[in-house]
A and B are shown apart, each in its own frame.
Chain A
Amino acid sequence: MEALRLDGNAAAGLLSEVFAGEVTTAVGTCDSCGAVEAVGAIHVYMAAGTVLRCPHCEAVVMKVVTDGERIWMDLRGLRTLELAS
């Protein structure tokens, strides 16, 4: 167990500022390995910003940075995100 790692629920507050609806049950596909996982199961690391990593291959699927007024999201590692409409 990686001591510094959290689960996707730790990023739920930040992501709910961007995505409507319940984000932890949204399903993401990792662009690196193709694994499909609920956001709640994704690995979260808190550094200068928040880093979400695939629980299967540890590739970065999302980077989120906020300065309180703006939010930047790097989604290059996320092939798709399925949300309830």
Chain B
Amino acid sequence: MPIISRGFKGRRRDDAPRDRVPPGQYVTDDFPVLSAGPTPHTPLDQWDFTIVGEVDERRRWTWDELRALPSETITVDISCVTKWTKLDTVWEGVSVDTLLDGVETSAEYLTVFCDGGYTTNLPLADVTGGQAWIAFAYDGEPLEPEHGGPARLLVPHLYFWKSAKWVRGLRLTATDELGFWESNGYHNYGDPWKEQRYWGD
């Protein structure tokens, strides 16, 4: 099996099934760390998750309340816009469907907000129907801070900048509001299978 060293970008796996690797991506066994800022270290007793914006009433969970909700083990492939794809990553998290259960809203979009100020925007339809989770464990271990712990959004069908690290909540909006990268060159939607990397793709 040919394995080519690619430095910090990890190893290229040429035996990966092609129908699982989006165009322009290479497969890595590593888990590269990309951060737009310093790693926040919010103590769990000060951490909460909220759903705000265009909702009938604000929802809030403490860390213990979130962890008491039903959780799922999720095995998915993830693709970063910097061109690495990682197959069969295993996460544990709470489905966004569970958090939105009973929430009355006319919103069609949301902004994900995070410790450190990062934001990303998505259509509401892309985080419902078993497509998105608030993930707090990776590979059977609590999610490390450098990978977004204590919790990150997991939306594996879109480029991984949408899977915001250090997530603290969702703001439901009537109109689409561009996030941290979407406002400066990166594609508004980010479908890896359509190579929607940049504006105009």
Partner of A45 from B36, B82, B117, B161 at Cβ < 8 Å: B36
Q: Complex: how many Å from CA A82 to CA B34?
A: 30
Contacts of A60 in B (CB 8 A): 37, 117
Contacts of A45 in B (CB 8 A): 35-38
Partner of B38 from A2, A48, A49, A67 at Cβ < 8 Å: A2
In B176-193, which residues have CB < 8 Å from any A CB?
180-181, 183-186
Q: Complex: how many Å from CA A37 to CA B38?
A: 19
Q: Complex: how many Å from CA A73 to CA B183?
A: 10
In A25-70, which residues have CB < 8 Å from any B CB?
45-49, 51, 53, 58, 60, 63, 65-67, 70
Judged by a CB distance under 8 angstroms, whether B152 is at the interface is no
Judged by a CB distance under 8 angstroms, whether A22 is at the interface is no
The answer to whether B183 touches A48 (Cβ under 8 A) is no
The answer to whether A47 touches B39 (Cβ under 8 A) is no
Contacts of B63 in A (CB 8 A): none
The answer to whether A65 touches B181 (Cβ under 8 A) is yes
In B71-130, which residues have CB < 8 Å from any A CB?
80-82, 117
Q: Complex: how many Å from CA A67 to CA B201?
A: 11
- What band does the interface of chain A fall in when counting residues whose beta carbon is under 8 Å from B? 20 to 34
Q: Complex: how many Å from CA A66 to CA B37?
A: 19
The answer to whether B184 touches A63 (Cβ under 8 A) is yes
Check A65/B37 contact, CB under 8 A, given A48-B161, A74-B183.
no
Contacts of B197 in A (CB 8 A): 67
Partner of B186 from A5, A49, A73 at Cβ < 8 Å: A49
Check A74/B184 contact, CB under 8 A, given A4-B146, A48-B82, A67-B198.
yes
Q: Complex: how many Å from CA A60 to CA B185?
A: 16
Least CB distance from A18 to B in Å reads 13
Q: Type the 1/0 row for B3-36, where 1 means its CB is closer than 8 Å to any CB of A.
A: 0000000000000000000000000000001111
Least CB distance from B71 to A in Å reads 28
Check A47/B183 contact, CB under 8 A, given A2-B39, A67-B197.
no
The answer to whether B198 touches A58 (Cβ under 8 A) is no
Closest B residue to A4 by CB, please name it: B35
Least CB distance from B7 to A in Å reads 14
Contacts of A66 in B (CB 8 A): 185
The answer to whether A67 touches B39 (Cβ under 8 A) is no
Contacts of A74 in B (CB 8 A): 183-184
Least CB distance from A41 to B in Å reads 16
The answer to whether B181 touches A49 (Cβ under 8 A) is yes
Instruction: Please report A residues at the B interface, Cβ cutoff 8 Å.
Output: 2-5, 45-49, 51, 53, 58, 60, 63, 65-67, 70, 72-74
Top 4 A-B pairs, shortest CB-CB distance:
A72-B185, A65-B185, A47-B36, A74-B184
